[in-house]
């Protein structure tokens, strides 16, 4: 099933007429400054392994150990992603340490910021904590296509169609998170990132 879905994504990607925004700026950051934290909404994960230039710059995606999370991780691995599995019911200290070690080694981290179980478009604290701890910048990611369908899952996953037009966009989040930020500052950053990622995703849809 993983091979079938990955093959479909490749076909859909190749038959889409794309417009790219912010990809050159992302590549410049990765080449000159090092890894980043990439955040997107769970509804847009289908094309995430194709949108990021993983052949040029290594990236690790955060997945859950639930069945759907394992499937998503296997699909992303088929496109060259590293994956780290986390259990939403546990503290995941070891997984977080692994992620930090990878980032220190130059590997970016990708996070569906409302995953793995939602609610949809409600930001978890993980992206803020990892950006704060690592000192690395956050990049927003989204894509939009003219032809797609939605699943009935909690996130209403957008599954792209064939022979359509679309936009893939990255944008650097214009906020710094001090390493010693207190709980109030971290929560304010989480709320702001949630608002900005939602606005960014909707903007890409409206301007496709």
pLDDT above 80 (res 16) = yes
pLDDT recorded at residue 200: 98
pLDDT above 70 (res 172) = yes
- Please compute the mean of the pLDDT values over residues 47-68 and round it to a whole number: 85
Q: DSSP letters of 17-67? A: EEEEESHHHHHHHHHHT---EEEE-GGG-TTHHHHS-TTTS-EEEEEESSH
Q: Are 61 and 126 in contact (CB under 8 A)?
A: no
pLDDT above 80 (res 68) = no
pLDDT recorded at residue 66: 64
Q: Give the least confident one: 86-90, 130-134, 174-178, 188-192.
A: 86-90
- Please compute the mean of the pLDDT values over residues 45-66 and round it to a whole number: 87
- Please compute the mean of the pLDDT values over residues 72-80 and round it to a whole number: 77
pLDDT above 70 (res 163) = yes
pLDDT recorded at residue 81: 83
- Given the structure tokens 């986390």, which residue do they identify? 86
Give CA–CA dist 108/37, Å, rounded.
Answer: 6
Helix (H, G, I), strand (E, B) or coil at 108: strand
Helix (H) or strand (E) holding 90: none
pLDDT above 60 (res 88) = no
Q: Which residue has the higher pLDDT, 9 or 78?
A: 9
Of residues 114, 109, 108, 96, the one with CA closest to residue 42 = 114
pLDDT recorded at residue 105: 94
Q: Which residue has the higher pLDDT, 32 or 67?
A: 32
Give whole-number Cα distances, 153 to 22, 149, 157, 207, in Å. Answer: 30, 12, 7, 26
Model confidence at 93, pLDDT cuts 50, 70, 90, reads low
pLDDT above 90 (res 184) = yes
pLDDT recorded at residue 70: 72
Averaged pLDDT of the chain: 90
């Amino acid at each position: 099933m993983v091979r079938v879905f990955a093959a479909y994504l490749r076909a859909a990607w190749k038959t889409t007429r794309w417009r790219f925004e912010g990809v050159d700026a992302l590549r410049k950051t990765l080449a000159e400054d090092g890894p980043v934290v990439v955040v997107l909404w769970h509804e847009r994960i289908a094309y995430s392994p194709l949108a990021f230039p993983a052949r040029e710059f290594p990236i690790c995606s955060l997945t859950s150990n639930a069945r759907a999370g394992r499937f998503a991780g296997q699909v992303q691995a088929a496109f060259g992603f590293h994956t780290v599995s986390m259990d939403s019911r546990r503290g995941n200290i070891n997984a977080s340490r692994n992620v930090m070690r990878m980032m220190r080694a130059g590997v970016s981290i990708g996070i569906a910021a409302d995953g793995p179980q939602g609610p949809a478009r409600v930001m978890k604290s993980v992206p803020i904590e990892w950006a704060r701890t690592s000192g690395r910048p956050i990049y927003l990611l989204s894509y939009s296509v003219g032809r797609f369908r939605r699943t009935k899952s909690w996130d209403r996953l957008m599954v792209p169609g064939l022979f359509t037009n679309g936009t893939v966009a990255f944008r650097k989040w214009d906020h710094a998170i001090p390493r010693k930020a207190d709980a109030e500052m971290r929560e304010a950053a989480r709320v702001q990132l949630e608002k900005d990622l939602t606005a960014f995703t909707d903007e890409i849809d409206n301007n496709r």
